[in-house]
């Protein structure tokens, strides 16, 4: 999979793209990330990418010309999505990450300042948001999306079965995890996890998922209940 990221701050991605599983996945060519600076597509001597908004108002707006030129410079792979990272977009979730793994190419446009000129939306096939809040830049949600999608690609995670039971793989939160020692500062690992009874362990984990989801995310719990078959 190819990620083409339009960003005014390419250095923002340097360390994250070299670290951990993400860095290893890129080394193994499971995915590739191409960083494009719209400033390289400006035509004035000041390489200006923003201007004042028509109609007045605070802040600056990213001009359409460098964004169009940058996107149009990219090769078009067979199945492509052009995504604008914006607070007005579709909220990110695990289902979105899974859907995006089916694409060959994701072009990510990182917004800045007060946003981008609305005409840029003519290029865009999807708008995506990290959540109901405003950040200083679109690089943070772009990096989140890259990480969330790449970790689902075959070969990124060593034990792909670990992706199945984690939070949001269904509408239930993850169950508690424990490792050695069996007792730490008087806190003991639940006996069922030491029993070797895999059926009992599976049942305990499901009960923990249901209890956590009901307590912490009643919105997900309601969705989960509605999807269960009638008795």
**What residues form the annotated binding site for S-adenosyl-L-methionine?**
111, 130-135
Report, in angstroms and rounded to the nearest whole number, the Rg of the chain calculated over CA atoms.
22
- CB-based contact 37:62 (threshold 8 Å): no
108: nearest Cα among 62, 78, 67, 79: 67
For 40, phi and psi rounded to 5 degrees? -75, -10
Name the nearest CA neighbour of 81 among 105, 111, 116: 105
Contact 16, 139 (CB under 8 A): no
Residues annotated within the binding site are 111, 130-135
**Residue carrying structure tokens 């690609």:** 153
In a 10 Å sphere around its CB, with 0-12 CB exposed, 13-18 middle and 19+ buried, how is residue 147 labelled? middle
Parallel, antiparallel, or unpaired for β 80-91 and 105-110?
parallel
Structure tokens at 102: 């089916």
């Amino acid at each position: 999979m190819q990620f083409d990221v339009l960003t005014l701050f390419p250095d923002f991605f340097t360390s994250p793209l070299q670290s951990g599983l993400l860095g290893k996945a890129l080394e193994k060519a499971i995915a590739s990330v191409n960083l494009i600076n719209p400033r390289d597509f400006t035509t004035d001597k000041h390489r200006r990418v923003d201007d004042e908004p028509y109609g007045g108002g605070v802040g600056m707006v990213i001009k359409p010309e460098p964004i169009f030129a940058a996107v149009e410079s990219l090769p078009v792979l067979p199945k492509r999505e052009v995504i604008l990272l914006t607070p007005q977009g579709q909220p990110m979730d695990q289902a979105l990450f899974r859907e995006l793994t089916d694409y060959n190419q994701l072009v990510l446009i990182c917004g800045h300042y007060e946003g981008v000129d609305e005409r840029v939306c003519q290029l865009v096939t999807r708008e995506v948001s990290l959540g109901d809040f405003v950040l200083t830049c679109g690089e943070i949600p772009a990096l989140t999306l890259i990480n969330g999608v790449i970790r689902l690609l075959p070969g990124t995670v060593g034990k792909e079965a670990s992706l199945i039971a984690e939070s949001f793989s269904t509408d239930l939160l993850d169950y508690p995890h424990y490792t050695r020692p069996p007792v730490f500062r008087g806190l003991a690992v639940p006996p069922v996890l030491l029993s070797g009874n895999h059926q009992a362990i599976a049942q305990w984990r499901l009960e923990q998922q249901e209890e956590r989801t009901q307590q912490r995310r009643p919105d997900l719990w309601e969705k989960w209940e509605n999807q269960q078959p009638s008795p």
